[in-house]
């Protein structure tokens, strides 16, 4: 008897749709997800695909499986809560600058490749994240802005379609997301010109997106470089 091999494209699509529901609040914290059969019908896929997508999100720490009860949305950690990485930054401030240097190399390359290889679905997700980031800024929801910021950069790396970059990113994703969230939160919470700073970061993310959408690798790389340089200057003494 053979086994059914899941299509990575279909699986990724279901994961993205589930993440969208988590990000926009359709699936609230502590809520129980619909049954696998219902989700399969909703997304137009098989139950094994839904099951694998749930496993993926459980491994990322956004969902939790409770035996005999179902799958639930886990309480999101506030950007103000200290992860091990944020504690390390607090103890060794130069690590923030070193991580920014790393991001200049890594994320500028990712932006360049994304301008060449991103799919329509990935462009749509980037646009959706920008819209949510804009709403978060308008509502002065610092935690939400930080989450959208991190998701934007993660999606951009996925859109680069480089397996080596993807594998490497997977190994440091928690560190980088914490770093991005910490930068966004600190720059907003501890700055008298927080609204202006948030608006500037928003425009920078839009510039990255527009360059990627227009298939302009040089502009995408330069826009990312300008953004990371701006973030670095926010924390320069």
Residue 201: pLDDT band by 50, 70, 90 thresholds? very high
Distances, alpha carbon 152 to alpha carbons 82, 131, 138, 158, 236, in Å? 21, 11, 18, 10, 24
| pLDDT at 186 exceeding the cut of 90 | no
Q: What is the pLDDT of residue 176?
A: 67
Q: What is the pTM of this model?
A: 0.62
Q: Which residues contact 232 (CB under 8 A, 6 or more apart)?
A: 97, 100
Predicted confidence band of residue 190 (pLDDT cuts 50, 70, 90): low
Which one, of 124, 129, 163, lies nearest residue 144 by Cα? 129
At 113 the pLDDT is 98
**Among 159, 145, 122, 123, residue whose Cα is nearest residue 200:** 145
**Of the candidates 231, 191, 182, the residue with the CA atom closest to the CA atom of residue 208:** 231
Asked if 47 and 40 touch (Cβ cutoff 8 Å), the reply is yes
Query: Residues 82, 175: contact at Cβ < 8 Å?
Result: no
pLDDT digit string, tens, across residues 49-102 = 999 999 988 887 788 999 889 999 885 544 433 455 555 555 566 777 787 888
Range among 24-38, 86-100, 176-190, 221-235 rated most confident? 221-235
Strand, coil or helix: 5: coil
Amino acid 115: pLDDT? 98
State residue 233's pLDDT score. 83
pLDDT of residue 10: 87
Confidence (pLDDT) at 25: 65
Question: What structural domains and CATH numbers belong to the chain?
Answer: 8-73 (1.10.10.10), 84-234 (1.20.120.530)
CA distance 7 to 53: 12
pLDDT score of 200: 93
Q: In this model, does residue 182 exceed pLDDT 70?
A: no
The predicted-structure confidence for 17-59, as pLDDT tens digits, reads as follows 888 787 666 787 788 999 999 999 999 999 999 999 999 888 8
């Amino acid at each position: 008897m053979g086994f059914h091999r899941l299509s990575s494209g279909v699986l990724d699509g279901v994961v993205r749709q589930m993440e969208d529901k988590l990000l926009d609040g359709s699936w609230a914290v502590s809520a129980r997800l619909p049954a696998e059969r219902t989700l399969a019908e909703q997304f137009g896929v098989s139950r094994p695909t839904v099951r694998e997508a749930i496993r993926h999100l459980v491994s990322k720490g956004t969902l939790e499986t409770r035996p005999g009860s179902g799958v639930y949305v886990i309480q999101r950690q506030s950007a103000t809560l200290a992860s091990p990485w944020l504690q390390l930054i607090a103890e060794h401030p130069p690590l923030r600058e070193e991580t920014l240097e790393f991001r200049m190399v890594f994320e500028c390359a990712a932006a360049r490749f994304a301008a060449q290889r991103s799919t329509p679905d990935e462009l749509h997700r980037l646009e959706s994240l920008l819209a949510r980031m804009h709403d978060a800024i308008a509502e002065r929801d610092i935690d939400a802005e930080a989450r959208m910021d991190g998701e934007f950069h993660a999606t951009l790396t996925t859109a680069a379609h480089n397996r080596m970059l993807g594998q490497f990113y997977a190994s440091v994703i928690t560190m980088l997301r914490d770093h991005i969230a910490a930068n966004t939160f600190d720059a907003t919470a501890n700055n008298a010109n927080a609204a202006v700073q948030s608006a500037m970061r928003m425009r920078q993310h839009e510039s990255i997106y527009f360059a990627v959408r227009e298939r302009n690798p040089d502009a995408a790389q330069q826009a990312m470089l300008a953004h990371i340089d701006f973030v670095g200057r926010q924390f320069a003494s």
